[in-house]
Each structure stands twice: as structure tokens, then as C-alpha cells.
Amino acid sequence: MAGRNPLRGSRAGAGPAGEPVREVAEPQKRVSFWCAHHHHNSPWFASAAEVPLTWECPHCGLPAGRDEDNPPPKGRVLPFKSHLAYVRERRDEEAGEAILQEALAKLRKPRSV
């Protein structure tokens, strides 16, 4: 019995032998989208599904629309902001100085053992 394999000729996860792999497939339609760089993309959608107005271009990441002559405009890319930039937006100079002095006072205070 050492060489016998009950799954010979099959793979793990395969369905029962003799049965169809799938049921009847949903009818589909292909929709074309174009981005501002004139990349063409045509994903498949179910016939009953609502097709979105825009689709992300898989080539460049820009929004793509269904009108080849008038693709959606390029989105505005915001520059990277550091943590310090966000802190400076929330605090003015005086408030920052007060917080700094309070933190320094806590650090300079002698510790009790």
C-alpha cells in the first residue's frame, strides 16, 4: 500500500470528477476607457452591472473615461507633507513654544526615588 495515492490524476482543491466546473456564466460586456495619456483599457462587466463613469488606468494610474476624445483631466497631486508640516498647520509659534517649555520643565524636574 506504500505507493498508492487516492488522489492520483487529480490535484488538491479540484472538484468532483464528471461534474461541470462552473454553472452557466453571466452574460458580459466589454467597455472601453481612455485616460489623458491616451492609454486604452477595456475591462469586462456583467451585463446587468452598472458601468462606472471613470476607471483607473492600469498603465499610469490616472482616471480614465469612456469618451476617447475627452478623457477626464489629470488629478491634482498633493505634495508629501511631513509630520512636522501637519503640526505647524495646527499650532502657531507661541503655542508651540509653550508646549516645548512645558515638556522641558518636566524633563528638568528632579526625579524622586
User: pLDDT digit string (tens) for 49-60?
Assistant: 999 999 999 998
**What does pTM read for this prediction?**
0.50
User: What does the pLDDT read at residue 20?
Assistant: 61
User: pLDDT digit string (tens) for 59-103?
Assistant: 988 999 999 999 999 877 778 889 988 888 888 889 889 988 999
What is the chain's mean pLDDT, rounded?
A: 84
The phi-psi region of residue 64 (left if phi > 0; otherwise alpha if psi is between -120 and 50; otherwise beta) is beta
